[in-house]
Amino acid sequence: MTNSVLLDKNTHKYTRIKTERGAQYGEVINYIPVVADELSQLALDYPVYFMKNNQTGQFELFALTGFDEGQNLFLQKDIWQATYVPLHIQRQPFKLGVGNRLSNNSEQTQLAVTINEQHPRVSNSEGVQLFDENSEPTAYLTNVSEQLIKLMNGGERTTAFINTLLKHDLIEAVQLNITQPNGKTQGYNGLYSIAADTLQQLSAETLNVLHSMGYIQACHLIICSSGHVQKLVKWLHDLK
């Protein structure tokens, strides 16, 4: 269980965040949750697929970073092998939570930044400050807050995107067959991508509607991103 508390300028006046990359920060994971708003950046480096949430059964969007649990081929010798790091990784150890404030003698609920105080990035002596000498948010903390808002809003847009794809039968299962360094072929299930053939057969009217929503571009980005799987396979062999 994480120990997340509301971020407070007094309580966390001297709190610092270590921002380097590394396995010690929980970054050795083989898939990372992402939002559709990130696709234009993700598609330059990552294979992007849909996967079903084990608890809800709902589709979610992920960047594939490895083929086995506890494997992140993008993280090599504590250097991230991509120009863009997904927001889910960037925002650690923060999340959006619910806070309360008094307004006109009544208590109102509002979104607030929370911090996991037990996260290995959190320190009182190393890293980037959260508040300056005047107890004002630093540029780093302001950027984190913006990232959290992007994730929240992006999550809602991603859900709408996925629901529209499902409505038009545009999500289909894919099978990855990877040649391991020992020469054996291993299959990976549970991944889904865009049903390209179905996409091509949509009516002009439907295509126009989806295009106006930005969904056609997003579909093509996801389709093209699968080409990065071969890069991951090469890294897998090179690292052995």
Tens digits of per-residue pLDDT, 19-43?
999 999 999 999 999 999 999 999 9
pLDDT at res. 88: 97
Q: Structure pTM?
A: 0.91
pLDDT at res. 64: 98
pLDDT at res. 97: 85
pLDDT at res. 2: 60
pLDDT at res. 182: 87
Tens digits of per-residue pLDDT, 181-198?
888 898 888 999 999 999
Tens digits of per-residue pLDDT, 2-23?
678 999 999 999 999 999 999 9
pLDDT at res. 100: 52
pLDDT at res. 213: 97
Which three-class secondary structure string do you get for the chain?
CCCEEECCCCCCCCCEECCCCCHHHCCCCCEEECCHHHHHHHCCCCCEEEEECCCCCCEEEEEECCCCCCCCCCEECCEECCCCCCHHHHCCCEEEEEEEEEECCEEEEEEEEEEECCCCCEECCCCEECECCCCCECHHHHHHHHHHHHHHHHHHHHHHHHHHHHHCCCEEEEEEEEECCCCCEEEEEEEEEECHHHHHCCCHHHHHHHHHCCHHHHHHHHHHHHHHHHHHHHHHHHCC
Q: Which residues in the chain come in under a pLDDT of 70?
A: 1-2, 99-109
